Amino acid sequence: MSEKVSVLFVIPVRGVDDAAVEETQRAMDAQSYPQALIEVVRIEYVSQALGAHAVALNAAREEATGEWIVHVEPGVVWDSNKLERQIRQVQADPSLDGCIHQMTRRSENGRSVSVGFVPLKTYGFQIGCLLHAPWGPGALMVSKEATTQAGAYRSVDEVLWEYAIRLIHRGLRLGMIDDDLAIWHTDVATRLGKVEGRRVLVPEGVRHRFLKSYLDRCGLEILFSDLTLVSEPDGHLVLAGLHHRNDDLETSHTICQAVGSDSKAANYWHGVMHRREPDFDNARGWFE
């Protein structure tokens, strides 16, 4: 092991206490990977300032000099062999551009949920990354070359999710470590507004504009590049479902209409869309 790892540690100056920052730092200091090969690029930013998170990430990335890049945030605590495990995996398979691992999301009340790879393994990377953020913060180790090709972080409502989509859609090859190598304390993320709240039945509008832009230009050949497409109408209905999940009812409705009422799946999505408007009579008709 002789490859340098740059850790982008961006810290909001308000909204998170020192204890969370110190806990994350201690976990980095306790890594089994040689400390001489770990470069921590620590950048502070004002969380209330528009686009400040993306600016801080870009500043940290430009300063990084390692062959591999990892991002971490306050409230994320790594297993002591996290970096060593990831380096060993990418060294064992030189074709990989990076790797990810599972982690546990823990709320303030002590409830724990696994942040794993079920969507990625079930639906493939292309679709899985469009359902929601495909991995937790700090789980990705990616080559500096891949980040250079992907470009800068963008000032959107979900900076890391958008960047993950961009990496995957550029053909990033990732290895997966099925072991849980971190705990993500989401009480910290919630205070910073980085954890989605409860989804509403009747949406006020499109949930994520950046996601809509990807879905609007995502052809079936890209969407199903790592899966078998049963039929073109079914592929379009998967796209309708992704738009629907993003609360873009109008686009989902247009796709269902184009597929036609001969498709039971199209009628299902059509009915759900009208139920969420809410237009009960119209929804009942499509469900029947």
Q: Which pLDDT does position 26 carry in this prediction?
A: 96
Q: Which pLDDT does position 62 carry in this prediction?
A: 95
pTM reported for the whole predicted model: 0.90
Secondary structure of the chain in the HEC alphabet? CCCCEEEEEEEECCCCCHHHHHHHHHHHHCCCCCHHHEEEEEEEECCCCCCHHHHHHHHHHHHCCCCEEEEECCCEEECCCHHHHHHHHHHHCCCCCEEEEEEEEECCCCCEEEECCHHHHHHHHHHHHHHCCCCCCCCCEEEHHHHHHHCCCCCCCCHHHHHHHHHHHCCCCEEEEEEEEEEEEHHHHHHCCCCCCCCCCCCCCCCCHHHHHHHHCCCHHHHCCCCCCCCHHHHHHHHHHHHHHCCCHHHHHHHHHHHCCCCHHHHHHHHHHHHHCCCHHHHHHHHC
Contacts of 97 (CB under 8 A, 6+ apart): 142, 143, 145, 146, 167, 172, 173, 174
Q: Which pLDDT does position 157 carry in this prediction?
A: 84
The two three-digit tokens of residue 141, written as one number: 């180790």
How far apart are alpha carbons 2 and 200 in whole angstroms? 49
pLDDT tens-place string over residues 155-214: 998 999 999 999 998 889 999 999 999 999 877 555 555 556 677 888 889 999 999 999
Low-confidence ranges of the chain (pLDDT < 50): none
Q: Which pLDDT does position 139 carry in this prediction?
A: 96
Secondary structure of 43-110 in the HEC alphabet? EEECCCCCCHHHHHHHHHHHHCCCCEEEEECCCEEECCCHHHHHHHHHHHCCCCCEEEEEEEEECCCC
Q: Which pLDDT does position 193 carry in this prediction?
A: 53
How far apart are alpha carbons 245 and 132 in whole angstroms? 9
The two three-digit tokens of residue 149, written as one number: 């090709």
How far apart are alpha carbons 69 and 146 in whole angstroms? 9
Q: Which pLDDT does position 185 carry in this prediction?
A: 87
pLDDT tens-place string over residues 118-129: 999 999 999 999
